[in-house]
A and B are shown apart, each in its own frame.
Chain A
Amino acid sequence: MDMKTLLGSRKISRQGLARRMLGIGTAVLLGSLAAGCDSGDKKGLTVGFSQIGSESGWRAAETKLARQGAEQRGITLKFSDAQQRQENQIKAVRSFIAQGVDAILLAPVVSSGWDEVLGEAKAANIPVILLDRQIDTPNVDLYLTAVTSDTIEEGRVAGRWLAGKVQGRDCRIVEIQGTVGASLVANRKKGFEEAIATAPNLHLVRTQSGEFTRAKGKEVMEGFLKAEAPGSICAVYSHNDDMMIGAIQAIKEAGLKPGTDILTVSIDGVPDIFKAMADGDANATVELAPDMAPRAYDILLAYRKDHAPPPKWVQTPSKLYEPDTAAAEYARRKDLY
């Protein structure tokens, strides 16, 4: 509860900031538009982006990079926040079509139910690029490409790092899962298990859901520490950084030293985990790159130039970061989130 109110207030101030930035952004945009008109008929692209919402720091960063990337490339971005509702996304896509945008970026909130509206976009000859999540459709011609990470690979990268880190030593691992039922969670679990299966000295002894939140991650870790014999947990793997930050706190409260007594590896690459790594409390994170929209812009610009269709799935890299670069990475990211 405490965490929720805390996050809530942080969000408000962030929104306030965002609004001011938005105002500046609009001014810049109008200015650049006017400049564009002056310098003759230099046709800039207009791209509509239907975003799921702003539920997490990662998504806010994705949005911010979408705006920055558009500005750098002289693209006019029409942005629509769906507030977690599919109907709002469908409305936004329809409005983009009615407006005659040059392309549409869609980060789908659910996997199904897009055939109708994407069919309309196709009929209007507007290419659609999926960001961050795939959709479930029998007709893959409905979209140009999907720019997402490989969520199984993320788990593998984490597992491989751990296997390399402990070398031949026996290691009992506990896992904090994300919200059960999401395909992302199944994939991050699967990839990790695949990677550690090759090393007989690694054993996954406990796994439980921390629902992607810090508070729940802490709770789950407290449970693990009580259930296992003191000093027997060698590493913790968490499906996201937020739960790991909660777990780090639980480890500290149990009188142990996270990062030394218990190794940590998690996924996402949010600023706070870099801070924890810089402080020596965490060991590794696998980044889920938030620059999906800029990648999509580049694909789009290339496609418009040579008309060669890109591959149906463009994977973003799943890069692992360790404490040596953490301080610099934190400085680079803290304004993005």
Chain B
Amino acid sequence: MGRFVTTRTLPLLATVVVFVLIYAVCAAQYPAMLGLRVMGNLLTDNAFLGILAVGMTVVVVAGGIDLSVGAVMGLTTVALARLIEGAGLPPALAFALVLALGGLFGAGVGAAIHYLKAPAFIVTLTAMFLARGCALLISTDSIPIHNAAYDTLAATALALPGGGRLTLVAGIMLLTFLAGGILLHGTRFGARVFALGGNAHFAQLMGINTGRTTILVHAFCSLMAALAGIVFSLYTRSGYALTGTGVELDAIAAVVIGGTLLTGGVGGVAGSFIGVLIQGLILTWITFDGTLSSWWTKIAIGALLFLFIAVQRLILVASARYGRSGAGPAAPNTPNQATSAPASRPSSGAAAPSAS
């Protein structure tokens, strides 16, 4: 076991291994799946899901959950269509407006969770109904966006060899993952998020303003949902209120497959990225096969989720039993004390003092 294989990195490694395995099986069966074209499609077609997963990862690491992201995304697409098509706003202004509104919406959700001491599940469920209702109120029809600047943005792509394309929306997703990684692992805010998710009470004792962190975390998540909405509207060049129905669950699945613990305090965006790709890959494989019902995607994702939850549990049990060898080496590698403490927290009892 090298110094990189720790309680924190093992779930991520497992995810990468699963991804490579699935990809190898796909490529062996359908050589066309090896090409850059399919790779480019995978990034473009899952761009909105990836961006949602970045926001969701931060929320889940903070020990929360956000069920409203799909609805916020749908609301954003239909609001954009109305602003650009109906009100004739230039796209840049419309983007700024929906991003600001998305952030505010999330801040409100975070505030409700913190000040009402209500479970995130219920508050974000309420927010989901609210956002979906608003979206349907604006329009129940799919509204096409006819705008020259929009068409240019949607068609912007880097040509890859083999007929593949790295589109603008795929690029935005990759940048979002990069930004999310820096935010979570390279800033004080990120450290606070880990601390909050690890143990809210400890975080408070450490002098962290948990209310502010909760509000910011949800604001960030809804901001990402609004960005996903922009990406989706570029992707389809239209706005539709029912866009993204149930996609919040896909985002949560990507986060969990990526090795982020639903109990909070452990995880990262790199795993979520692979989690998104795994889901996209399974769907691509099923389409390539063409005889299976695409509901098999759900079954495969369900099985994978179960596998990962079991693996995570086993790792935690093992690291609790062998105390130092599992969690110990993580401490010197981590730049911040706050991140290392919650990382070993779930191993409870014996491990918690060993980290300090």
Contacts and interface: CB of A to CB of B under 8 A. Distances in A.
Interface of A: 15, 18-19, 22, 25-26, 29, 48, 76-88, 90-92, 94-96, 98-100, 110-116, 124, 136-138, 181
Nearest to B45: A91
B236 A96 contact: no
B35 A98 contact: yes
Q: B45, B235, B288, B290: which has the most chain A beta carbons within 10 Å? A: B290
A95 B240 contact: no
B287 A90 contact: no
Nearest to B37: A98
Contact of A136 (B144, B280, B283): B144
B38 A98 contact: yes
A18 B37 CA distance: 32
Given A98-B41, A113-B236, 13 more contacts: A22-B292, A81-B294, A86-B236, A86-B243, A87-B235, A90-B236, A99-B288, A100-B32, A111-B142, A112-B143, A112-B236, A112-B238, A114-B236
A26 B32 contact: no
B291 A96 contact: no
Contact of A87 (B41, B48, B237, B290): B48
Interface of B: 30, 32-33, 35, 37-38, 41, 44-45, 48, 140-144, 146, 154-155, 163, 232, 235-238, 240, 243, 245, 280, 283-284, 286-295
20 contacts: A15-B293, A19-B293, A48-B287, A78-B289, A78-B291, A79-B291, A81-B295, A83-B295, A84-B245, A90-B236, A95-B288, A99-B30, A99-B288, A100-B32, A111-B144, A112-B238, A113-B237, A115-B237, A137-B144, A181-B141
B236 A94 contact: no
A95 to B, nearest CB: 4
Contact of A116 (B146, B236, B243): B236
B142 A113 contact: yes
A113 B236 CA distance: 4
A91 B287 contact: yes
Given A81-B294, A110-B142, A113-B144, A98 B32 contact: yes
Given A82-B294, A94-B41, A116 B154 contact: yes
A69 to B, nearest CB: 15
A80 B154 CA distance: 25
A90 B286 CA distance: 14
Given A80-B287, A95-B288, A181-B141, A87 B232 contact: yes
Contacts of B32: 98-100
B186 to A, nearest CB: 32
B230 to A, nearest CB: 14
B46 to A, nearest CB: 8
The 7 closest A-B pairs by CB, nearest first: A78-B290, A113-B236, A112-B144, A110-B142, A113-B238, A112-B238, A95-B287
B150 to A, nearest CB: 11
Contacts of A111: 141-142, 144
Contact of B290 (A48, A100, A113, A115): A48
Contacts of B45: 87, 90-91, 94
Contacts of B236: 86-87, 90, 112-114, 116
B95 to A, nearest CB: 18
Contact of A80 (B41, B141, B286): B286
A181 B240 CA distance: 13
A81 B289 CA distance: 12
Nearest to A183: B141
Contacts of A25: 291
Contacts of A115: 237
A81 B292 CA distance: 9
A18 B144 CA distance: 36
A96 B287 contact: yes
Q: A18, A84, A110: which has the most chain B beta carbons within 10 Å? A: A110
B216 to A, nearest CB: 29
A297 to B, nearest CB: 15
Contacts of A137: 144
B240 to A, nearest CB: 6
B151 to A, nearest CB: 8
Q: B143, B155, B238, B245: which has the most chain A beta carbons within 10 Å? A: B238
B70 to A, nearest CB: 11
A268 B288 CA distance: 33
B294 A22 contact: no
B37 A138 contact: no
Q: A48, A91, A124: which has the most chain B beta carbons within 10 Å? A: A91
B294 A88 contact: yes
